[in-house]
Amino acid sequence: MYEIVRQAVEERDFKRVKDIFSHLEEADIADLIQGFHDNQEVDAKDISLLFRLLPKDTAAEVFTHMDSDMKELLINSFTDTELEDVVDNLFIDDTVDLIEEMPANVVQRILHASDSQSRRLINMILKYPEDSAGSIMTTEYVYVFKEMTVKDTLEKIRSLGMVKETVYTIYVTSQHRRLLGVLSILDLLTADDDEIVGDIMDTDVITALTTEDQENVAAMFAKYDYVALPVVDNENRIVGIVTFDDAMDVVEEEATEDIAHMAAVSPSEESYFKTSVFTHAKNRIVWLLVLMLSSTVSSVIIGHYEAAFAAVPLLVASIPTLTGTGGNCGSQASTIVIRAMSLGEIQLKDFFKVMFKEFRISLLVSVILGTVNFFRIYIQYYNDPTVDQMRLAICVSLAIVAAVIMSKLIGCILPMAAKAVHLDPALMAAPLISTIVDASTTLVFFNIALVVFNISM
């Protein structure tokens, strides 16, 4: 498809391009044009030309699927009237997203192109805290008053001429916009024309407050399987709705953020390639510095036990095995606990239940690892007359058992403790856990070694 369209553009057969576009989904058209631009196969002037081939309502939706560079390029090529056409056909929440990505001079043009009612709504949404229900809601929804008939309601839906998911649920309000009930479009279809909506509406409505965290809103979608969720203010007046597609974006966005945190990276707003080398480095360097400097603790501990490894140099060779195993056990526990907390499977009140569970898991795991490690060392140094295999094997295996149990406990305690003091649990993931586990494992290891090898310091 890409090649066919590219060739048509090259031959300047725009009639053909227009025809192909008419059979494509908006997201796919956006992908095509975006591709031409990213691969520098079509110049900026022809990109705007391609965009002008689209009917007005299609154009607006194609526009929302583009990346921010492309949007800026297009807006700069638009006349004021063209910009008005696009902005007119955008959903309010998409306009708000656009305003948040654009530089100030472009924002001014966009606001100028919006009618006064849209401007009022845009300003309202911009005021809600980032990542709140208010900030992701759209203000296009169908509301009717409870005295209206089914027939009136159907008329209203028809006359609004709205498209897409925002019309599947109809909200019934008082004259002051207080939310009284909901109706699905199916309820309307199966009711008689002269029934009163107030009589057939469902009055048990699940709502989200404007200030509700978007993560909780997405969780409500996952729980109730709704197509849309009404957003209300403190007086239960409906101010917008969140639709399932926005909730799906939130689920994906939050997972990406958690994953980044777990790898000690500050999350990036943009995609991998759109993020500059400098920003990537900035997102990674802070944690790396903190962790590198924290590892000084391990260095000091090792330095302190110089006498031990001067007596038995092979102790040093076991450090990577111990810190590695401890780190892996700790990150397993913390990752599982962090994910289970963000899915709501683990609550703070389960603190001791989780600790006890991780303790039992670590007992099982540590005994297996310790035993295998015992035989590994015994076999590895079997023919080496300079090594006391038995003592070395006992010493390292005991240290492994201790390391596994400690690190599993640290791995589950820290994320829950973080949550208790309202920090993001995902920050307590693998990298930080490993650093803490490194220090404690080394300390325990050398103390065991002092006893087993009977070394005095």
Q: Which two tokens stand for residue 280?
A: 């990537």
Say if residues 325 and 401 touch (Cβ distance below 8 Å): no
User: Applying CB under 8 A, does 163 fall inside the site for its own copies?
Assistant: yes
Binders of its own copies among residues 313 to 342 (CB under 8 A) are 313-314, 316-321, 323-325, 327-329, 331-332, 334-337, 339-340
Q: What span, in angstroms and rounded, lies between the C-alpha atoms of 201 and 8?
A: 53
Cβ-count burial of 369 within 10 angstroms (0-12 exposed, 13-18 middle, 19+ buried)? buried
Helix (H, G, I), strand (E, B) or coil at 101: helix
Q: Taking CB under 8 A as the rule, which mask of x and - marks residues 42-81 in contact with its own copies?
A: ----------------------------------------
SS3 letters across 358-419? HHHHHHHHHHHHHHHHHHHHHHHCCCCCCCCHHHHHHHHHHHHHHHHHHHHHHHHHHHHHHH
Report the residue from 89, 138, 139, 373 that binds its own copies according to the rule CB under 8 A: 373
With respect to its own copies, which residue has the nearer C-beta, 23 or 45? 23
Distances from the Cα of 282 to the Cα of 254, 286, 352, angstroms? 21, 7, 38
Q: Is residue 11 a contact point for its own copies (CB under 8 A)? A: no
Q: Does 361 bind its own copies (CB under 8 A)?
A: yes
Contact of 217 with 250, CB cutoff 8 Å: yes
Residues 222-261 that bind its own copies (CB under 8 A): 222-225, 227, 244-245, 247-249, 251-252, 255-256, 258-260
Which residues are paired to 180 by β-bridges? Answer: none
The single residue among 105, 234, 271, 454 that binds its own copies, judged by CB under 8 A, is 271
Q: Which is nearer to its own copies, 13 or 245 (CB)?
A: 245
Asked if residue 393 binds its own copies (CB under 8 A), the reply is: no
- Tell me if 285 contacts its own copies by CB under 8 A: yes
Binding residues for its own copies, rule CB under 8 A, total: 114
Residue nearer to its own copies on the CB measure, 126 or 293: 293
Angstrom distance (rounded) from CA 223 to CA 217: 10
Distance CA 74, CA 45 (A): 9
Stretch that binds its own copies, among 42-50, 71-79, 130-138, 311-319 (CB under 8 A): 311-319
Cβ nearer to its own copies, comparing 235 with 273: 273
* CB nearer its own copies, residue 367 or residue 417: 367
Region binding its own copies by CB under 8 A among candidate stretches 10-18, 74-82, 125-133, 267-275: 267-275
Decide if residue 154 touches its own copies (CB under 8 A).
Answer: yes
